[in-house]
Amino acid sequence: MRRASEGRGRGREAPIAPAAEAATTVGLIGLRYHCWRCDELSTPLIGMLERGKDLFSADFVVVGDERMLTFAWELFPAFARGRWPIGEVKRRQERRTGGGYLSNGCSSCDAPFATYALVHNALPIALATNPFERLPELARVELRRDTWASICTSRWN
């Protein structure tokens, strides 16, 4: 019995959860995609999927805007860049407007892969034809559950 500490510990709270329960495993999903310019195969980042979740459900988080692409690319481990033909995710210049946009690119020739084309043209075809072949898991990362939850909900905003 440690009576001395009882009833006085308002400043000290127990940890919310052990580390193992506070973390979850998320797969970074690529899309097998032939470059429109050189025809070589690349695997640009297309989505994120928590382990055990269904690719054919709303649990599949599509990397469909710059915020999601940035988030996924920053998680992408360096070792996986050597295992898959994945080009650099970077900001590219828009010649006509002078602005810039973030996108995947070809691993061979660095041609930009517009996110809109990947998400709205190539992804539905991959899902409908041979998803487990065409949408490989490029890497797995550990994330805090609250970080992952906020990503899952913020995509609708």
Please choose, from the candidates 110, 82, 107, 140, the residue with its C-alpha nearest in 3D space to the C-alpha of residue 32: 107
Q: Which is nearer to Zn ion, 41 or 152 (CB)?
A: 41
Planar angle of CA 18, 19, 25, nearest 5 degrees: 130
- Tell me the residue type at 132: F
CA dist., res. 120 & res. 122, Å (int): 6
Minimum CB separation from Zn ion for residue 27, in Å? 25
Which residue ranges make up the site for Zn ion (CB under 5 A)? 35, 37-38, 106, 108-109, 111
Nearer to Zn ion, 108 or 147 (CB): 108
Rounded to a whole number of angstroms, the minimum distance from the CB of residue 92 to Zn ion is 14
Q: Which is nearer to Zn ion, 35 or 69 (CB)?
A: 35
For residue 108, the minimal CB distance to Zn ion (Å) is 5
- Sequence-ordered alpha helix ranges (H) in 13-136: 19-22, 66-75, 78-83, 115-117, 123-129, 131-134
Cβ closest to Zn ion, residue 24 vs residue 107: 107
Smallest gap, in angstroms, from Cβ of residue 38 to Zn ion? 3
